[in-house]
Structure 1
């Protein structure tokens, strides 16, 4: 669209020149043919200009069309070379001002386009640090404040403004800022009034503070630095210098945050930041009472992922889950990696039941699609989560423990679920619910349909089983003859070696283990296929398309899972 507008402006300029030329014809050339050419030009402008966003030009052209429509009406009755001086001059007089407006509007559009181009170039080459950073400009000089806000926005920053200390305090309570610019000399309260408010508040004390001052007295500079200012800039100043200083401060702050408060593997906050920020959130709730919930998350059977596929796949899964969680958070929420495969999320302004509904929706996303892929192989997971709503009777340690207890209770109920903490939940795992050594069984899914394999793994992932995959009959045969498999979900029709041929080979070679169960899937419902499968050792049979609920029931029956 942008390229189209640019090209159309060139065409538009040419058309306006043609209009000017036609409207300045000598009297002996004021023929119907000239009038028709004028009419067609303005009619073209009326239809095409709005399509490229030149609405004002289209509106003016519409008025010109009405002035010259008479020429079209006369086209069938008057020879084109006949002079129509009177009507022509009348229409021309009405068009004069409108044609001037057309030219002026095009000039304005061209200027706006050039300004937009300049702004895009500025934003394009602006430091990446600006994108996503939010600034607060506090100054009672409306002209300077407005200028700074516009320049910062052009560079890509989000910017808010305040003209006095009370308005600044209100914004600082409502929003989170990456940097504050503060004018010292304001009325009725000076910028000094804000120092204590900012530096004593644990949610603000780490935010860089740049002082702008019309006084360059050394006493002011020293006092501001002792009070906690990160920089001091004297008015008047060059904007380019101010912009560079802000960039440097933000970059250093973000680099420090990345090293000190971020988990290097997943990029989310670490335990150190969580321990600090949880105190900040509780202080905020003490000042402005509201509900708040904590979610404790643990990936189901994460150890088996590391044992089966290696720690590099485990790392990919951790990164994938962190990304999934981050994508569903609000800006006010906080996600941190608590340790290992455990994550915690603080949800301000959220009740326990609301938090349960939210995390259940995230869990559904995890069930539906893979959280990671490696060399084309998808990896699906589920997780167990516990939720606890904050109450003022709790200590932080109790709040975390209750969320953890609810998560363990979700594990005991079969994993792949979310529970809200209730009194009496215990983190102690009941021995009758979790055996000392849980025997994990293996399912081989042999099907050339990659999507179907992925769906089956996703839907059965919550069962206490490991998965293997085969893309054809030869691949399935090699796996079944080389390693133990408890259940093979086998497609009847596959390339290289179909399911029936594979079973026949195993029967001939007596290579089918007695403990192996076969669940055959087929898109055909012929009686002879069913009979042939049973003769070859198929234990149960399902026709495509099939119910996933029924499939899970059959899988549990074959593996004797309760």
Structure 2
């Protein structure tokens, strides 16, 4: 009982420290060092060995006297395992406002933009990934060109570091592909030791923003990344047109929605918002390729612009999802317009490889009223109506009303643990089951002790997304073989796979990523670290 008392005191001290730092724009590295140094000794003495181990690991990279300034997003990312541990302690022992504050720190970087490294040099890529993550950046890697192109489509990274010499596709070919698709203003920097004049000219001609020579200087690299991400954010605020579809983007939509809400509050002018989602769009990409998928998105945008009224505002909300703002329009009138567009889309023919196919959409509509005149509530209502349209057969428009007002939206993520070691399987399962009670996204957790049982369990349901924690060493069939079978049918947009292994050596890391793993976690591991890493990746990709 005495130990528990001091453990409570330790968690309280951690919480106070994090909340105090949260009020400041930045803290010094030496403050982080002092905090971790104290935690290392005290936590281990009172039985919190997990916290002590995390502190010990984190201290290795820090200087006791460093005056380096750490921004909030940097220290919350670096200390995320401790923040996560505190969050779970608070969830299990208390409730209330403090829990929400701590959990907000855990999730503060969930939507952080990704940096993608496409390179086959395992030593360099491990070094670069580690260096960037220590500074708070979110990094994913691809060890060949094919996987790199897939991740550009699936994750839509903010910044890509691209090597010229790759085992399957040279970097220039990737640059040419990116130039054709022009995905979301992704910034491409060629990073290569082949930095002769001809390669630099060719890289710039194909659309690379920069050419970074190897070997690199860490300080210059960090300054460069910070500069480019800040510049990209400025562009996002300045540009209101979606580059691919040539309709307005999400930023413009959010601004227009606020204006319409204010007009309703002042003069009572009605408006309706419709969320439109193309049905089974992934199958289009999988069957015909991403370039044809882009043509479908552009074709849909052209169709809507032809049929909508001049006053209506079409915006690309994200991926295959659009919103149509209809000013001075009651819901019934808006429904007729959306139905007209839906029927026209149903009849529109697309052609790929001499094959004709059709694409439909589902839509949810909501009109502003005195109970729904906040942007979040309006969009939630329209989204519930969209969910109703999807669950009742798709290819239809549904208006939000009292019959679906309290419809609970289905949780979207299932977590699967595949490991033949009972202790690890049980620990992970219980952790995510506990998390599912508090997380609106996680639907359920399942566990398997071998790969064959999992593969033949009928585990996949297209209505869900999946996080799979997959052990490398399994009886009968290896985790890598299970990974290959998963990737033969599902991309990272449907299934995130994190390999768990006690294997050492870079060849194992390389093999995992080459076969489509999204993350690689070595045993022994801290469960809080596993959770925060996977959930950050899931939030971004899903």
Please report the TM-score for the alignment, with normalisation by the length of structure 1.
0.36
Higher relative contact order (CA 8 A, sep 6+): 2
Please report the TM-score for the alignment, with normalisation by the length of structure 2.
0.37
